[in-house]
Amino acid sequence: MMKVIPLTCLALLILLCTGCTDDGPAPPDVSAIPVDLTLLRFDRALATLDTSDLPAALARLDDQYGSFTDAFFTHLVPARRRDFSAAEGQRVLRAYLDYPLTRFVDSLVEGRFPPSPLERAGEREAGGGAQVQKVADELATALRYYRYYFPRAPVPDTLVTYATHFELAAFLYGDGQLALGLDFFLGPDFDYTQVDPNEPIFSDYLAQSYTPAHAPGKLLRVLLEDRFPPPRTGRMIDYLLYEGKKLYVLEQLLPGTPRHVVYEVSEAEMGWLEDNETPIYAYLQREDELYSTDVSKIRKYTGPAPYSAGMPQESPGGAVNYLGRQIVASFLAQNPEVTLPELMAMTDGQEILRRARYKPR
């Protein structure tokens, strides 16, 4: 028998559901959107480099990896610094390849991301091994969503993997191609503090996202931040909404990824965020921080940290960014005609907040 809901209750349910922004429509079908992503294992090529004739070996790297080699040997391993001669650059490269930390990292990366049998046999187009290929496949799917939501944006067609001394997790090079530092994705079983327990980048709150599951998100963040740079100046509301916009877009690009992975927090911290939306908003209002222009405060609230300033230690760093995501979701629910490119181009956080008619839950 159908249960009849009184009109007043029905109206209340409609009102409550209007404020619910987390459960959006099903992801669009992007299977027909073409994305051709080539995976190249520069990390393996460098680890097995024939050093008996470095000029010839470097020429082969240039031929196989194009502009990536210049980016790598200029910014990560400075073998091609402008003030170095070719001979000096080769000495730098030999020293790097022989350095114990280099050998240690190479062994870790090969153990976590082994090459395929065909790649071991020297076939360049043989794929990158199951673990790296999985990351590349997930990224290719995300890029289909990216092309769907941002049809005018250029889409990378190459993913190059590399390894260094834990210098950089991901970056763009050349004409907008993607590069991934595999040494930053050895977890969750690898204890990064064994490399250096005093190194801040190996702190637990950062290292929890150094897993293969986080790699597509790290790459997409780089892509989004290049296309839509962060504010140079502004108020807290502008910055937290910029971070909130990124989180919202990442959820659309990675619809099958657990939410806590997208947000780069633990499952418990994700639960804390979802349970404390109203207290986060009340805290910012009580402390009169929403329109603060204090750069140090903005960094403190929106940047990575063991926990959020002024909030319980159960909170993750950057808790205000979740609030930004919720405001963005409310804004899009109230303004469905606004596209994601239009949203990302908006820089006035106060205007977004006003038009969102945001009510924290």
CB proximity list for 130: less than 8 A, separation 6 or greater: 116
CA dist 351 and 331 (Å) reads 10
Half-sphere exposure of 74 (CA within 13 A, CB side): 8
CA dist 36 and 15 (Å) reads 44
Three-class SS of the chain: CCCCCCHHHHHHHHHHHHCCCCCCCCCCCCCCCCCCCEEEEHHHHHHCCCHHHHHHHHHHHHHHHCHHHHHHHHHHCCCCCCCCCHHHHHHHHHHHHHCHHHHHHHHHHHHHCCCCHHHHCCCCCCCCCHHHHHHHHHHHHHHHHHHHHCCCCCCCCEEEEECCCCCCCEEEECCCEEEEEHHHCCCCCCCHHHCCCCCHHHCHHHHCCCCHHHHHHHHHHHHHHHHCCCCCCCCHHHHHHHHHHHHHHHHHHCCCCCHHHHHCCCHHHHHHHHHCHHHHHHHHHHCCCCCCCCHHHHHHHHCCCCCCCCCCCCCCCCHHHHHHHHHHHHHHHHCCCCCHHHHHHCCCHHHHHHHHCCCCC
C-alpha distances out from residue 242 to 212, 226, 239, 272, 297, Å: 26, 13, 5, 21, 16
CB proximity list for 331: less than 8 A, separation 6 or greater: 338, 343, 352, 353, 355, 356, 358
CA dist 70 and 85 (Å) reads 15
**pLDDT tens by residue, the chain, 361 residues:** 223 323 333 333 333 333 344 556 799 999 999 999 999 999 999 999 999 999 999 999 999 999 999 999 999 999 998 889 999 999 999 999 999 999 999 999 999 999 866 555 555 444 557 889 999 999 999 999 999 999 999 999 999 999 999 999 999 999 999 999 999 999 888 999 999 999 999 999 999 999 999 999 999 999 999 999 999 899 999 999 999 999 999 999 999 999 999 999 999 999 999 999 999 999 999 999 999 999 999 999 999 999 999 999 999 999 999 999 999 999 999 999 999 999 999 999 999 999 999 999 8
pLDDT of 258 reads: 97
pLDDT of 12 reads: 32
C-alpha distances out from residue 197 to 102, 132, 191, 201, 312, Å: 18, 27, 10, 10, 25
CA dist 245 and 147 (Å) reads 17
pTM higher than the cut 0.85: yes
Half-sphere exposure of 264 (CA within 13 A, CB side): 30
The encoded tokens of residue 183 equal 């040494």
C-alpha distances out from residue 220 to 98, 163, 292, 296, Å: 33, 19, 29, 26
Give the pairing of strands 38-41 and 158-162.
parallel
pLDDT of 115 reads: 80
CA dist 248 and 72 (Å) reads 32
Length of the chain equals 361
